[in-house]
Structure 1
Amino acid sequence: MCRRFGTWPVAMLAPSKNKAILEGPVCNGSQVIGWHTNEKSKRLRRFHVDMSGFAFNSTILWDPKRWKRPFPHPTRQLDTVKEGFQETTFIEQVVADESDMESVPPACSRILNWHLHLDALDVPYPQGWVMQKNLEAVITVR
C-alpha cells in the first residue's frame, strides 16, 4: 500500500500494432527513478503513466500543507488538456517529482493490469447485444 502516491507498470495491447507496450515507472527498489514509454507521441509528457497505473492518498487533494503539495490551489482537470496528457497534467498538480512517488509492488516487479485499446465496433458481441440506436426512456415524476 502506498502512503502518498503509488505507481506501477501497465501493459497495453495495441491491436493495430500486434504488440504489447509497457508504460509506467522505472524503479530502484521502491523509489521511482524514471519512466518506460514506447509511444513517440507521448514522449513530451512529464509523467509516463496510464490512468490505471497510479493511486494516491486522497487527503493530498484537500490538505496541501500536510503533503507539501507543489501548488496550494485546488486540483482540477481542465477541459483544455490535450488528449493523452490528462494523467500527467493531474499528477503534476499533486506531486513535485518522482521523489514523492513509490512503486507498487516494490521495484516495479510485476505488471498489475493490462489496458486493452478496443473499439466497441470491433468487438464480436453475440447477436442481439449491440443496439443500433440509443434507447429512449420516459420517466414520470410525481
Structure 2
Amino acid sequence: MVMMTQSRLLCLYSVLIFLGFTWFISTFEYFCNNDELLEVRERQIDTYKQQVTDKNREIENIQTKMQEYEEKIQRLSHLLQIKTCKPVAGDNDPTLPTLYLITPTYSRLEQKADLTRLSHTLLHVRNLHWIVVEDSEVKTRLVTNFLANCGIHNTHLNTLTPKQVKLKAGDPQWLKPRGVLQRNAGLTWIRTALNPSKNKGVVYFADDDNTYSLELFEEMRQTQKVSVWPVGIVGGLRFESPMVQNGSVIGWHTFWKPERTFALDMAGFAVNLAIIFSHSNAVFSNNVPRGYLENSLLLQLGVKLKDLEPRAENCNKVLVWHTRTEKTKTKNEKITPSDINIEV
C-alpha cells in the first residue's frame, strides 16, 4: 500500500514538473517574441530606477539637513551649558584637600579681562575657594558683580594700600612690593574664618594676570609642607626654577640674588594650611629688599630647604607663567569717546 502511494506521488511530481517546464518554455517564447511588451517592461524598469535614484537623492538631502540641524543644536546646547551648567568648581569631592587661592587685584581697564581669564581656568578645578582681595577703600561694583556670577566659590575682601608704598606712574614693576596688604588680608581671613581641626587644604597666591595650567592645581593639592615648581617667563629668563638633586632642592636657577634662602617667585610655591595656622604671625612685609617678599614669608613660616617638595616632574616642567597684560592705550578716547556706562 505504501509502495503504491509513493509511485503515485512520483508520477504526480513528474507530471507537475513537466507542466511547469512546458509553462516556462511557452512563457519564455512569448516574451522573446513580444518585443513590444519587453520594451514596456524595460521602460517600467527604467522608471523604477529613476524613482529609486530620486528617492536616494531626497534621502541624502534630508540627511544633510539633519546634520546641519544637529550642528546647530550642538552649538545652542554649548551656549546653554555655558550659561546654566554647574562648573566643576562647585562639585566638591570630600576626599580631596581644598585649595585656597588668594588673588590681589586693583582697579584698571584690564582688570575684568584678567579676572575673567583666570576664572575660566579655575572653573575646571574642584574643591577650590577663591579669595579675591581688592586694593580699594570699598568693594567695587565691578568686582562684586563679577564674583557673584563667576560660578566659583569665593570670598570678596578689600583693603587699601597706602600711597607711600604704592608704585607711582612710570615706576618699574620691581621697585616696590605689590599686593602685600591684600595677600595679608587673605591670610587673616583664612586664620579667622577656618577651623584648624576641620579645614584641611593648601594655600596658593595666584596673581590675576598670570597663566595657569590645570595640572598645576593637582600638583599642589597633595602638599605636605611647601611645594615648589618652576615659573615661566620671569626674572628676565625663560623660566626660574628650584634646582633639584635626588628629589631634594639644593639651589635656585635664577638671575637675581640666587643666594637667597628661597629664591622663588610668588607663583612658584604653595603652603599646607596647617603651617599657615601654626605660624599665625607670619605675614608679607612692605619693608623687605627687592625680591625678598616670598623669602621673608617662608622664613617666618619656619620652612627649611629640606622641607620643600619639588613638584612638576622634579621641577622639570613649567605649569605656570608670569604673564603680564599689556597696559591699554586709550589716546583715541579724546577724539572718539566711548559710552562710559558700558562696563569693560
TM tier relative to shorter chain: 0.5 to 0.7
Could you tell me which amino acid in structure 2 is paired with residue 74 of structure 1? N
1:57 matched to 2:264: no
- Radius of gyration: which is bigger? 2
The residue number in structure 2 matching 1:98 is 305
Q: Which one of the candidate residues 1, 4, 9 is aligned to 2:230?
A: 9
When residues 44 and 119 of structure 1 are mapped into structure 2, their CA distance, relative to the original with a 3 A threshold, is farther
Cα deviation, 1:72-94, whole Å, max 9, x if unaligned, reads x7102222123321111111112
Three-state SS of the structure 2 residue aligned to 1:116 is coil
Number of positions where the alignment pairs a residue of Structure 1 with one of Structure 2? 113
CA distance in 2, matches of 1:45, 1:35: 9
Could you tell me which amino acid in structure 2 is paired with residue 11 of structure 1? G
Retained in 2: the 8 A contact 1:9–1:23?
Answer: yes
The residue number in structure 1 matching 2:51 is none
C-alpha RMSD over aligned residues: 2.9
Q: Which one of the candidate residues 253, 273, 280 is aligned to 1:36?
A: 253
When residues 117 and 60 of structure 1 are mapped into structure 2, their CA distance, relative to the original with a 3 A threshold, is same
Retained in 2: the 8 A contact 1:29–1:107?
Answer: no
Retained in 2: the 8 A contact 1:30–1:104?
Answer: no
Query: Shift of residue 119 of structure 1?
Result: 4.8
CA distance in 1, matches of 2:325, 2:255: 19
Structure 2 unmatched ranges of 5 or more:
1-221
The residue number in structure 1 matching 2:240 is 23
TM-score between the two structures when normalised by the length of structure 2: 0.29
Could you tell me which amino acid in structure 1 is paired with residue 243 of structure 2? V
Query: Shift of residue 106 of structure 1?
Result: 3.6
Could you tell me which amino acid in structure 2 is paired with residue 52 of structure 1? A
Q: Which one of the candidate residues 275, 282, 295 is aligned to 1:75?
A: 282
CA distance in 2, matches of 1:23, 1:110: 11
Structure 1 unmatched ranges of 5 or more:
65-72, 136-142
The residue number in structure 1 matching 2:162 is none
- Higher helix residue share: 2
